[in-house]
Amino acid sequence: MIKTPLCELLGIEYPIFQGGMAWISDGKLAAAVSNGGGLGIISAMNANAQYVREQIQLARSLTDKPFGVNIMLMSPFADEVAQVVAEEKVAVVTTGAGNPGKFMPLWLEAGIKVIPVVASVGMAKLVTKAGAAAIIAEGGESGGHVGELTTMVLVPQVCDATDLPVLAAGGIGDGRGIAAAFMLGAVGVQVGTRFLVAHECGVHPNYKKKVLKANDIATMTTGKRLGHPVRQIKNQFAKEFFKAEYSQISDEELEKLGSGALYRAAVEGDEKTGDFLAGQIAGMVNKEQPAAEIIQEMFTEAEEVLKGANKWVK
Ligand code: TUI
């Protein structure tokens, strides 16, 4: 059995979070992951307060285990959603794509455990001072909005910079990834891409098909010019966006080109004009399974790998 301080901190069985994925991680998926012993997370993405409240209530109707809400700090609705999670007193808030500092007093006052996603040591130090309960260090192997550093170099440097529990994210899709994350100093992992194909994940079937078909070099990043690089599966949309980025068009036109593309992928399954965010481990996601089975399989494998590691020590 694998137990870490993260399990005690949050009252969860396995030290694994399901990453918040825009238009994908809803109350149903979050509840399935929490019922499977991990921490399910609802993505607040660019949605308004009402949507987030409904998803929190849906999750509560499906599980009595703790779950979290991920707040994307670049969202135009971040302020109102920040209020809703405080009112609803969700167990955990994770944040992404920015500095959560201005919301921290509100959430801490509500008794919420705040666990920011960081992509740098500087942000890890800031959120440690601001009262975070733990930190998710996310490397650029992950899907969606990514930082510059890989998981391999980010995680140990974040671990050295904080006394808080650290979760590793980005590039973790099986038990070997969990074991490696622990060796880097993490006491938990966050996984997104593998949960895309969970039975309880309601993303469009075309999205699942694309992840299941992906190989090691199936993803690419775009959006550097706009200051927010995004990793996604290569398709017509990604290639056209990439080309446009290096053309003369204005930043406003480029932003417009990207708008609605996540929705077209996740909800409509539009294989040409949709933006299919996924991490580099898509290449090793080969089967659909219930969320609970994904968690159990990953930790059974991690245990075997960790027990076997001693063979290298003479
Ligand atoms: O946030 C994510 N992943 C996301 S957000 C998203 S929605 C979106 N759509 C279009 C463009 C941009 C986003 C899809 N995927 N992951 C967590 C994450 N946070 N990765 C990197 C960061 C991060 C980056 C900078 C965290 C803090 C940060 O601080 C910068 C600063 O100094 O303010």
Q: What CATH number is associated with residue 290?
A: 3.20.20.70
Same domain for 218 and 195 = no
Q: At what angle do helices 151-161 and 121-130 cross, to 10 degrees?
A: 40
Integer Cα distance of 59 and 91 in angstroms: 12
- Three-state DSSP at 289 gives strand
Which residue, judged by its Cα, is nearest atom 30 of ligand 1? Answer: 98
- The pTM score is 0.97
Which residue, judged by its Cα, is nearest atom 13 of ligand 1? Answer: 145
Q: Is 22 part of any domain?
A: yes
Q: Is 314 part of any domain?
A: no
Beta carbons within 10 angstroms of residue 25's beta carbon: 29
Report the atom number in ligand 1 closest to the C-alpha of 143.
Answer: 15
User: Ligand 1 mean position to 111 CA, how many Å?
Assistant: 24
Task: Look at residue 156 in the predicted model and tell me its pLDDT.
Answer: 98
Which residues have C-beta within 8 Å of that of residue 198, sequence separation ≥ 6? 29, 32, 33, 288, 289, 290, 291, 294
**Containing H/E element for 59?**
helix 49-62
Q: Is 88 part of any domain?
A: yes
Instruction: For residue 241, give its domain range.
Output: 205-280
Same domain for 172 and 29 = yes
Q: Which residues line ligand 1 (CB under 6 A)?
A: 22, 72, 74, 96-99, 117-119, 123, 138, 144-147, 228, 230, 277
User: Ligand 1 mean position to 304 CA, how many Å?
Assistant: 33
Task: Look at residue 190 in the predicted model and tell me its pLDDT.
Answer: 98
User: Ligand 1 mean position to 98 CA, how many Å?
Assistant: 6
User: Ligand 1 mean position to 1 CA, how many Å?
Assistant: 33
- Domain count of the chain? 2
Same domain for 111 and 37 = yes
Q: Is 313 part of any domain?
A: no
Same domain for 265 and 237 = yes
Query: What count of residues does the chain have?
Result: 314
Same domain for 293 and 266 = no
Q: Is 35 part of any domain?
A: yes
User: Ligand 1 mean position to 256 CA, how many Å?
Assistant: 19
Which residue, judged by its Cα, is nearest atom 22 of ligand 1? Answer: 97
Q: Is 17 part of any domain?
A: yes
Task: Look at residue 153 in the predicted model and tell me its pLDDT.
Answer: 98
Same domain for 156 and 78 = yes
Same domain for 270 and 179 = no
Could you give the angle at the alpha carbon of 71 between the alpha carbons of 172 and 48, nearest 5°?
135
Integer Cα distance of 156 and 181 in angstroms: 9
Same domain for 241 and 92 = no
Which residue, judged by its Cα, is nearest atom 12 of ligand 1? Answer: 145
Task: Look at residue 287 in the predicted model and tell me its pLDDT.
Answer: 97
Instruction: Ligand 1 pocket test: pick from 71, 126, 145 the residue with the most ligand atoms within 8 Å of its Cβ.
Output: 145
Reading the block at residue 4, the tokens are 């870490």
User: Ligand 1 mean position to 84 CA, how many Å?
Assistant: 21
Same domain for 51 and 136 = yes
Q: Minimal CA–CA distance to 232: which of 221, 223, 243?
A: 221
- Residuewise pLDDT in 10s, the chain (314 residues): 999 999 999 999 999 999 999 999 999 999 999 999 999 999 999 999 999 999 999 999 999 999 999 999 999 999 999 999 999 999 999 999 999 999 999 999 999 999 999 999 999 999 999 999 999 999 999 999 999 999 999 999 999 999 999 999 999 999 999 999 999 999 999 999 999 999 999 999 999 999 999 999 999 999 999 999 999 999 999 999 999 999 999 999 999 999 999 999 999 999 999 999 999 999 999 999 999 999 999 999 999 999 999 999 98
Report the atom number in ligand 1 closest to the C-alpha of 46.
Answer: 7
Task: Look at residue 236 in the predicted model and tell me its pLDDT.
Answer: 98
Q: Is 312 part of any domain?
A: no
For 151-170, give one letter per residue: b (16+ CB within 10 A) or e.
beebbbebbebbebbbbbbb
Same domain for 77 and 175 = yes
Which residue, judged by its Cα, is nearest atom 17 of ligand 1? Answer: 96
Same domain for 213 and 89 = no
Task: Look at residue 60 in the predicted model and tell me its pLDDT.
Answer: 98
User: Ligand 1 mean position to 310 CA, how many Å?
Assistant: 37
Q: Is 94 part of any domain?
A: yes
User: Ligand 1 mean position to 248 CA, how many Å?
Assistant: 26
Same domain for 240 and 210 = yes
Task: Look at residue 245 in the predicted model and tell me its pLDDT.
Answer: 95
Which residue, judged by its Cα, is nearest atom 24 of ligand 1? Answer: 97
